[in-house]
Amino acid sequence: MAAENAVRTNLLGLPPEELEAFVVGLGEKPFRARQLLTWIYKRRIGDFEQMTDLGKDLRARLSAVAEVRAPEIVTEHVSADGTRKWLLRAGRSDNREQAIEAVFIPELGRGTLCISSQVGCALDCSFCSTGAQGFNRNLSTAEIVGQVWLANQRLGVGPAGERAITNIVLMGMGEPLANYRAVLPALRIFMADHCFDVSRRRVTLSTSGLVPQIYRLAEDTNVALAVSLHAPNDALRDQLVPINRRHPIAELLESCWHYLDAQNGRSITFEYVMLDGVNDHLSHARELVKLLVGHDAKVNMIPFNPFPGTAYRRSKPEAIAAFRDYLNVHGVTATVRRTRGDDIDAACGQLAGRVHDRTLVRLGSKMISVGVEA
């Protein structure tokens, strides 16, 4: 009875070296770990009995002490443009269900999966639906990796064996660098040859600007970096992205240029949500040019996607075009992100999931509000 109730090790999200140690601990040769990785990540199989090149005795022992457990799907929605959004169960708190969201965006020649790193978010960016939901907890590495594994299972492969997911972006719910301990192993699994084997140039981490962790990331891995800038001066960014009060723009940019140097000159993308009458004037564009010109940087302009209760509005098309043109003419590469999945609330800034928490912590302002339920 005790064996039946024992907690089984979730092999999903276990780094290759830890998986190797696990199978050696079972008395097996290290190469068995590579076989398991192939079954789990390449073939998307989670049932040990289907892993036919493993001995029957090993399959039985694995079934007793291990499992491959991904987050459970609560709902799945498909947009008119083909975008898919999954609401995934993330446990319970205060006897209420928590949930996160992951979004798949198909495009010609590629498919991007946007995944979450936390249940909710504590950074409280004023234009983001996720931040308005509050913060419950960090996701584990298995829960982060499990979103990709589950989406791969749901989407399958093309007729020539091509995979649907070619790009992975940590731009969903949460601040990835605030969950560094779980995110770093996930990044390595995404890129590892025997795991998902995604090119480092196709794995992107988006951050609101946790400067110490950007320096640390530069030493620990090599992925594409996207920084949520959204304002060209500290006074405005303090309002939009409260973490700026802790790490102002000059400090943030210094860490970004260090990241570029450490990663051999890869460009950094600065995300800039376009808010009508707030940050979309040509005077803001001029300030932005002064910050970025001469550096390997590009600006990804994001038309604001509304959500219930927000006071912001999307910038007018002509304002977005004028802003983009000004940046491009003055030496800063700028593009406008195409809005996808907004009919199912899957567009950038709209992910909310289900977050119930007794304590809402705002890291940017260091304010703590007790008794808040979102």
Q: Contact, 200 vs 191, CB < 8 A? A: yes
Axis-axis angle for helices 211-220, 180-191 (nearest 10): 30
Side chain identity at 87, as an amino acid letter? Answer: L
CA–centroid distance for 297 within its chain? 20
169's tokens:
């972006």
| Identified catalytic residue from 128, 195, 256, 348 | 348
Query: Does residue 348 have an active-site annotation?
Result: yes
The length of the chain, given as a count of residues: 374
Question: In the CATH scheme, what architecture does the domain 72-370 have?
Answer: Alpha-Beta Barrel (3.20)
| Identified catalytic residue from 20, 28, 101, 175 | 101
pTM of the predicted protein model: 0.88
The answer to whether domain 8-67 has CATH 1.10.150.530 is: yes
Q: So where are the chain's domains? A: 8-67, 72-370
Neighbouring residues of 131: CB distance < 8 A, sequence distance ≥ 6 = 120, 121, 123, 124, 125
- Reading the chain (374 residues) residue by residue, the pLDDT tens digits are 444 556 899 999 999 999 999 999 999 999 999 999 999 999 999 999 999 999 999 999 999 999 999 999 999 998 888 899 999 988 765 666 788 999 999 988 889 999 999 998 888 888 887 766 778 889 999 999 999 999 999 998 765 667 889 999 999 999 999 999 999 999 999 999 999 999 999 999 999 999 999 999 999 999 999 999 999 999 999 999 999 999 999 999 999 999 999 987 678 999 999 999 999 999 999 999 999 999 999 999 999 988 888 889 999 999 999 999 999 999 999 999 887 555 545 445 444 445 445 344 444 444 333 222 22
- Of the CA atoms within 13 Å of residue 291, those in its CB half-sphere come to 25
CA–centroid distance for 67 within its chain? 24
Query: Does residue 162 have an active-site annotation?
Result: no
